[in-house]
Chain A
Amino acid sequence: MSPNLSTEFAGIRSPNPFWLASAPPTNSGHQVDKAFEAGWGGAVWKTIGAPVLNVSNRYGAFHFAGQKMIGINNLELISDRPLAVNLREIAEVKRRWPDRAVIVSAMVESNFQAWKEIVQMIEDTGADGIELNYGCPHGMSERGMGSAVGQVPEYCEQITNWVAQVAHIPILVKLTPNVANIVEPAKAAVRGGANGISLINTLNSIMGIDLDTFEVSPSIGGKGGHGGYAGPAVKPIALHLTSAVASNEFLRSSAVPISAMGGISDWRDATEFLLLGATNVQVCTAAMHYGFRIIDDLCDGLSNWMSSKGFETISDFRGKSLPHISSFENLNLNFKAVARIDALKCISCNLCYVACNDTAHQCIDLYGPSGDRMLPGLDPERNGKYATQSLKPVPVVREDDCVGCRLCHNICPVEGCIEMVELKSTHEPITWAELIQKTPDVASDWEVMNQYRSEHDIHIH
């Protein structure tokens, strides 16, 4: 039997954990209809609220090494479509798709009356929930909305509280990552009465500079500025912030679910967020790059992975990675791994050699076909493809000197060629926290540290 992908988020049901994030893909009834036809479990309608005017050249892109748009930034504001049109289409979509989650993102001026009115209008559409947009880093923030709210926990709590006073449907609060510690606004939202947390909104960013015009790219009539950054490149940041919120004691005890997002491109990314405790996930950039059809592999890949692991529902594995999140002081200092290079798989690109010797710990040597150590460099006397085959050097790790930094493993272009191999330690595991309790002076006195090292066979040159 195929696994059950359905989720319930603060009482809102959806057939799968994939919602479209509040963004350009959910700008209209036409689009959300298409998305639901493709199979999306839910959609957070593009933020409605205060009247706005948009500009052209509003999406910038970060391309890297031939891969288009690993990051996108946008200067688009909240919905510029008339409020009444949005509300009518939301109602129509929800009527047509009763089994899908329809959440409406909202942002209005920071006063109780404005919020009360928008909440009532949203509730009248039959929407399943409301997401308070405390994240937009551009345009709206200058008007005291968006991240201007999300960056001040007191405002966060106050506005959430206003909404909670009048709302009858679940309230999600969407957080900005542009803060020093995301846990504070998250806690404030929960104190204010939020039923769910969404994160992350976009990061402040400048996408680039045009080297011919010296203008910011994209240029809006010669000027530009920071915009909201998202896409695959932000995923590690989003994973960290999700884990920070998911691991917080207060937030865990409040049992407020997390709708996670930030650079989710495929089911693997999505699953990582679920493993870090997210109840469901939201997607935007990947859909903007490839269209709504990506939902197909999001569901299929997740479903197949769950089958392979024996999980029947998403709650079977949700948060399973959280116990593995720790801090440096709790890591085992006696854990030892070294890199091992499979000579049969090696294609002799020598990237590991140059990386290790130039920028890491100088523990990879080159050996020639006859087994002799070779120095780097070309033989100017020889040429032709057969000469290179006979000269083919093989990189070998000097394991005694390898600190297990993992750089070579990270850059090797051949799948499975450089593996990190755990070495059995003859010493008991010990963490930094334990060590400085036992021997406090290791942290302040090099003599004591050296003594500790020699007793534990740690030789660093």
Chain B
Amino acid sequence: MAIVGDISSGHSFDPLAEVLPALTPSEAAIETNRCLYCFDAPCTQACPTHIDVPKFIKRISTGNLLGAAKTILDSNLLGATCARVCPVQELCEGACVLGKYHRPIEIGRLQRYALDSQTEDLFLPGPQTGRRIAVVGSGPAGLSCAGELARLGHSVVVFERKELPGGLSTYGIISLREPTEVALAEAKMIERLGVEFRFGVEPNPSELAATYDAVFLGVGMGTARLLSISGEEFVLDGLELIETSKLNPSKLTFGSEVVVIGAGNTAIDCATIAKKLGAERVTILYRRSESDMTAYQHEIDYARTEGIKFQFDIRPIRVDQVDGNGFALHCNEGLSESSFEIKVDQIIRAIGQEPPLNVHRTELGFVEVTNNFETNLPMVFAGGDCIRATGNASTVMAVQDGKLAAKSIHRALMGCQ
């Protein structure tokens, strides 16, 4: 029998452990009972995958955790990741009718509570159709698409260039928000639906299209953008830093002065990690104004509470190695030509990624797709970050893209609705 409230497990302090604690059964009970159980609920409308939020919350409240988990996963196979990484303030919780009077229901944490409670597989592969589909990329879009296709009875092979599945969830979301195990467990769940995974491969879409009945590209973004300044070789790449923080955190050490260049969520994540792992002063430098920052407001607020400083209208122009230790980062302020220098121990860049891959692209460089997520190549579909401009890309949008693309592929292959 489980002992409730056992605090004897004395594991050592992990500075990168998940920030938000799991809800206890009592906390979940209070939170579920606050939910009004709205009809045509705004939270469900606001969710890009349209999870029936009141339905799963009601199910938690009645003790039907299995049903709650199934309700979530039925709309969003990556519900466990989304419960942690979704900008809920902009989506479900931002739409909660109680926000006007009190505070919104903690939908994200309840979703996590429902899914954390489940260890069994909730779905079975559909009756086999005999169709074979290649999915490129095992990030949220790829896994969502692969899982939905498997539920529809198709044979799916996922090609992943890295060693582990999960894409951004595994490599790019800091473990303060989502532990790596959560993303890996989701990929395992998809695998148990009969999906085959091949790692360390980066196949050509056109060649795949020749051997598979359909192809889905969920390749995410391309390589990280460079500052293109002298001394670039002394600058650490933000995404690589986050990847190390997830897979080999013991390899990361920080000096006392750290500067992060950029103003998106990745920049905030890098700054947070530096701070958590011992940097005394962490400053985010951004070439534009505060209102131009692309990071979510709640992330910016969180960074400030962690003691991270921000400086705006600063353009880095050169990095010099300083004898002995550290670097000098030369910058211009605003439009002025006069430069100043900052003495730092580490410089991290997080200024976005190049658009991906050689498929027909939009002017912005993203893969161009129809409303049905089909690219210019026949039976090659795409979704997730690779089709979305900055600010419009998120894990949950990728999941929805993958899900809808799976339906399009199914329709195209089976000729039915």
Which residues in A have some Cβ–Cβ distance to B below 8 Å?
65-66, 347-351, 353-354, 376-380, 382-385, 387-389, 391-393, 413-414
Contacts and interface: CB of A to CB of B under 8 A. Distances in A.
Contacts of A351: 36-39
- What are the 4 A-B residue pairs with the smallest beta carbon separation, nearest first? A66-B33, A385-B94, A354-B39, A350-B39
B179 interface: no
Contacts of A414: 101
Contact of B50 (A376, A383, A389): A383
Contact of A383 (B29, B34, B91, B98): B91
Contacts of A392: 42
B40 A347 contact: no
A385 B37 contact: no
Nearest to A415: B101
A393 B37 CA distance: 16
Contacts of B47: 383
A391 B40 CA distance: 11
Interface in B34-55: 34, 36-42, 44-48, 50
Contacts of A379: 45
A54 to B, nearest CB: 27
B39 A384 contact: no
Given A66-B30, A385-B95, A348 B42 contact: yes
A383 B51 CA distance: 11
B40 A376 contact: yes
B45 A349 contact: no
A378 B30 contact: no
Contacts of B37: 351
Interface of B: 29-30, 32-34, 36-42, 44-48, 50, 61, 90-91, 94-95, 97-98, 100-101, 400
Contacts of B38: 348-351
Contacts of A376: 39-40
Nearest to A413: B36
A391 B43 CA distance: 12
A138 B41 CA distance: 47
Contact of A385 (B44, B91, B400): B91
Given A385-B91, A388-B46, 14 more contacts: A66-B29, A66-B30, A347-B97, A348-B97, A349-B97, A350-B39, A350-B41, A378-B40, A379-B45, A383-B46, A383-B50, A384-B90, A391-B45, A414-B101
B140 to A, nearest CB: 15
B40 A377 contact: yes
B50 A350 contact: no
A376 B95 CA distance: 17
14 contacts: A65-B33, A66-B61, A347-B98, A349-B41, A351-B38, A351-B39, A380-B50, A383-B45, A383-B46, A383-B50, A384-B91, A385-B42, A387-B46, A392-B42
Nearest to B404: A380
Contacts of A377: 40
B30 A385 contact: no
A391 B32 CA distance: 25
Query: Which of A65, A348, A379, A383 counts the most B-chain CB atoms under 10 A from its CB?
Result: A383
Contacts of A389: 95
A377 B50 CA distance: 12
B81 to A, nearest CB: 17
A348 B44 CA distance: 13
Contacts of A387: 45-46
Contacts of B91: 383-385
A400 B205 CA distance: 63
Contacts of B41: 349-350
Contacts of A380: 50
B99 to A, nearest CB: 9
B39 A349 contact: yes
B90 A388 contact: no
Contacts of A66: 29-30, 32-34, 61
B36 A349 contact: yes
Contacts of B94: 384-385
A269 to B, nearest CB: 23
A353 B40 CA distance: 10
Contacts of A393: 40
Contacts of A350: 38-41
Contacts of A384: 46, 48, 90-91, 94-95
Contacts of B97: 347-349
B346 to A, nearest CB: 36
A389 B48 CA distance: 15
B95 A388 contact: yes
A380 B42 CA distance: 12
B371 to A, nearest CB: 10
Contacts of A382: 45
A378 B101 contact: no
A413 B38 CA distance: 10
Contacts of A385: 42, 46, 90-91, 94-95
B27 to A, nearest CB: 11
